[in-house]
A and B are shown apart, each in its own frame.
Chain A
């Protein structure tokens, strides 16, 4: 009478542990870092505007740049003054200066996390050593560094000054996934922005983090000169 329950219990125990081991093989353990759905994008300093940064280059992140916030207003004013030879001339996607079309426009990147944006969202602006200014408006917690980016060229036959706002997902391997235009404006400008954005490369997620697609919003302001 006493032997039976013992044998049965040992068999059940071994089966339970075998099942547990199989389940363990399928449970991914993540550290919970850098896996937020909405992310801010860390821009690098030391990359000359319009060129792709070398892959794997150590890029500064937002946290390193908040001190430059006061520059924001100046930069915005300078954008409107085409005669002035400022950094921002190079930062605007111009129709006339086609050789420098790759130069970075003022980039606005912000996360989609609206709740956080309302409460704790901040705006950052900064200036890379390469001579481009950018503006970041973020509310997300996670940060994905940019390894390489190509700026859109101003398509021929278009003379519009609009902001192309794109929402895009960053895949776990660092490539750009789905891209959705948020403001419908000009199809050609939009296509140019989408085509360039598609070639951007971000820092891949660490292997122990949850492999999720992250969402961000970027604005390409097209300006005529």
Chain B
């Protein structure tokens, strides 16, 4: 007996589990792609942007962020655009951009969490309905059933639980993995943005003093 015919014996619930599986796999692949793109070499990025900011090359820093095309660089870029409006506006812009980017990163995770909970439950539903069918048949046969008939109905009913768990367990594992990975990324974002805000503070102070000095010199 091949696995496909075993799969089909599970009944209508199996199609819902299959749909869950398709969505879960799609979300997992999408998250892998997004997280791979979002990954950033924190020290390298910080060194580069610090150098540019210390030179007071805000435009250069914005261009560098445009080239990077990661959530961190997007946040920094949005902050730098508000540089001329003062420190408070930069912090606000970074905070709002951060929330946006984290929202983008976490998109789909709730789907994965739902599937990891729903798939086994769908399996249980299939098992319960299968059991009901099996016992109804036994009653129709007036109890004149062999253990083989009984076992047949039961194993067919249990298939849905097995497949539900096969979908649910990896979905839960991937959900936890992604939550962890995104948390790590958020920490990186916080580190970088705090650092950049500090550098911008320093630059603006130094900048103003330098400008004053230049004016005096002139």
Contact = CB atoms under 8 A, between A and B. Distances in A.
Contact of B25 (A6, A17, A28): A17
Given A9-B30, A9-B33, A16 B25 contact: yes
B173 interface: no
Given A2-B104, A5-B33, A5-B34, A12 B26 contact: yes
Given A5-B30, A8-B33, A24 B22 contact: no
Nearest to B21: A17
Contacts of B2: 24-29
Nearest to B107: A2
Interface stretch (B3-11, B125-133, B187-195, B196-204): B3-11
Given A2-B104, A5-B34, A13 B29 contact: yes
B109 to A, nearest CB: 13
A156 B126 CA distance: 68
Interface residues of A, number: 22
Contact of B3 (A12, A16, A27, A207): A27
Contacts of B28: 9
Contacts of B6: 29
Contacts of A26: 2
Contacts of B30: 5-6, 8-9
A8 B32 CA distance: 12
A64 B6 CA distance: 34
A17 B23 CA distance: 11
A122 to B, nearest CB: 29
Given A5-B34, A9-B26, A25 B1 contact: no
Given A5-B33, A10-B26, A13-B22, A24 B7 contact: yes
User: Which residue, B1, B6, B26, B33, has most C-beta atoms of chain A within 10 A?
Assistant: B26
Contact of A24 (B3, B29, B33, B104): B3
A208 B6 CA distance: 11
Interface in B94-153: 104, 107
B27 interface: yes
Nearest to B27: A9
B42 interface: no
A29 B3 contact: yes
A17 B107 CA distance: 23
Nearest to B3: A24
Given A2-B104, A5-B30, A13-B29, A25 B22 contact: no
Given A9-B29, A9-B30, 20 more contacts: A1-B69, A2-B107, A5-B30, A6-B26, A6-B30, A9-B25, A9-B26, A9-B27, A9-B28, A9-B33, A10-B22, A13-B25, A13-B29, A17-B18, A24-B2, A24-B3, A24-B7, A25-B3, A28-B3, A207-B1
9 contacts: A2-B34, A6-B26, A9-B30, A10-B26, A14-B22, A25-B3, A27-B2, A28-B2, A29-B3
Interface of A: 1-2, 5-6, 8-10, 12-14, 16-17, 21, 23-29, 207-208
